[in-house]
């Protein structure tokens, strides 16, 4: 146990981003975690194999199940999102697929927000339908009124806030309370807000998705996703990712970790530019004059 490390929950989010997933003194003092390129893992002897071998949920036993680089990124994402655990996957789309298929089975009903990212909608209406899951798309502004849409076989309420690309901001706590009252799992795609501008686990979310391809990595050079969970929802998500063979290459994980370090400064500048641009557009009398000014 560390003696002097302050409680992580008391750190400011920007401080968390600077430190998350780092463990220098386990890596000869190197600030960043090493990039492990690994598939086969060797065991010292059969006793070692018997102890570590079956523990594929949390240990380094085969490259596909994760290396120390994977676990560093996962720890960092869990800290960033304010969740308990995180599972790294190869894209945001995989994160959506893993999250949904962790909690749905044939005969179940899914409530998905109408403003969800296009390929997420496609997954629900197409792929999940093939496996016998029925989806209803609901109004992003429905709030606690979601209660009226929940059926006996509704298992998941899926949110995306702000939504693609119309940017409705959902009443996450209101929807989560109504969903939990009927034993539904609440999954939020938190990509647009990023872990900095919305803290999902403080508002009743059970599972939070990041397309780390976007703000987290930040430089348009990697595809990466993370499914962050509570302690209770972690195991089923981990097992689903492993069942599907979802895995991530170590260099991509490293870029994800590296991106997290500058997320705070990049997003502040992004917001400044966005507001200035909005102001500028607001001053143009018509969209036509906006066009000529460009």
For residue 137, give Cα distances in angstroms to 101, 149, 163, 182.
17, 10, 13, 18
Closer of 117 and 254 to ligand PLP (Cβ): 117
Among 177, 223, 235, 236, contact with ligand PLP (rule: CB under 6 A): 223
Within 10 A of 17 (CB to CB), how many other CB atoms are there?
23
Within 10 A of 183 (CB to CB), how many other CB atoms are there?
9
Q: Is 117 one of the catalytic residues?
A: yes
| Structure tokens given for 239 | 């097992």
Number of residues lying near ligand PLP (CB under 6 A): 15
Residues 234/89, Cβ–Cβ less than 8 Å = no
Question: Contact between 114 and ligand PLP (CB under 6 A)?
Answer: no
Question: Contact between 115 and ligand PLP (CB under 6 A)?
Answer: no
Closer of 101 and 150 to ligand PLP (Cβ): 101
Question: Contact between 92 and ligand PLP (CB under 6 A)?
Answer: yes
Residues 77/228, Cβ–Cβ less than 8 Å = yes
Closest-CB residue for ligand PLP? Answer: 92
Question: Contact between 261 and ligand PLP (CB under 6 A)?
Answer: no
Question: 87 phi and psi, to 5 degrees?
Answer: -120, 125
Residue 24 beta carbon to ligand PLP: minimum distance, rounded to whole angstroms: 29
The span of 85-93, 103-111, 151-159, 251-259 binding ligand PLP (CB under 6 A) equals 85-93
- Measure the CA–CA gap between 64 and 275, rounded to whole angstroms: 43
Among 140, 225, 250, 259, contact with ligand PLP (rule: CB under 6 A): 225
Residue 11 beta carbon to ligand PLP: minimum distance, rounded to whole angstroms: 27
Q: Is 64 one of the catalytic residues?
A: yes
3-state SS class at 209: strand
Closer of 103 and 150 to ligand PLP (Cβ): 103
Q: How far is CA 288 from the centre of its chain?
A: 39
Angle at 127 between CA 110 and CA 130, to 5 degrees: 85
Among 189, 206, 252, 264, contact with ligand PLP (rule: CB under 6 A): 189
Q: Given 171, 189, 206, 264, which residue is catalytic?
A: 189
Element (H, E) at 187: strand 185-189
Count of helices and strands (H, E) across the chain: 11, 7
Among 86, 115, 213, 229, contact with ligand PLP (rule: CB under 6 A): 213
Question: Contact between 240 and ligand PLP (CB under 6 A)?
Answer: no
Q: What is the DSSP letter of 219?
A: S
Name the site residues for ligand PLP (rule: CB under 6 A): 91-93, 96, 117, 160, 164, 189, 191-192, 211, 213-214, 223, 225
């Amino acid at each position: 146990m560390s003696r002097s490390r302050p409680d992580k929950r008391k750190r400011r989010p920007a401080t968390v981003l600077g430190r998350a997933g780092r463990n220098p003194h386990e890596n000869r003092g190197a600030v960043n975690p090493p990039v492990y390129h690994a598939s086969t893992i060797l065991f010292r002897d059969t006793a070692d194999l018997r102890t570590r071998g079956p523990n594929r949920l949390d240990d380094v036993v085969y490259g596909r199940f994760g290396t120390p680089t994977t676990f560093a990124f996962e720890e960092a994402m869990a800290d960033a999102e304010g969740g308990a655990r995180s599972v790294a996957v190869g894209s945001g789309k995989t994160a959506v697929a893993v999250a949904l298929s962790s909690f749905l089975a044939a005969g179940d009903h899914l409530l998905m927000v109408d403003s969800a990212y296009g390929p997420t909608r496609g997954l629900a209406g197409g792929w999940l339908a093939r496996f016998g899951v029925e989806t209803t798309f609901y109004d992003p502004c429905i709030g606690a009124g979601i209660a009226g849409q929940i059926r006996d076989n509704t298992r998941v309420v899926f949110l995306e806030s702000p939504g693609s690309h119309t940017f409705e901001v959902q009443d996450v706590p209101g929807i989560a309370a109504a969903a939990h009252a009927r034993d539904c799992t609440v999954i939020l795609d938190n990509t647009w807000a990023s872990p900095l501008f919305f803290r999902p686990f403080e508002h009743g979310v059970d599972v939070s998705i990041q397309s780390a391809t976007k703000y987290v990595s930040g430089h348009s050079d990697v595809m990466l996703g993370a499914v962050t969970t509570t302690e209770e929802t972690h195991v089923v998500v981990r097992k689903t990712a492993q069942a599907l063979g979802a895995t991530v290459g170590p260099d991509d994980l490293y870029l994800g970790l590296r991106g997290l370090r500058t997320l705070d400064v990049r997003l502040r500048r992004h917001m400044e530019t966005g507001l200035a641009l909005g102001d500028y557009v607001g001053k143009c009398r018509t969209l036509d004059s906006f066009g000529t000014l460009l």
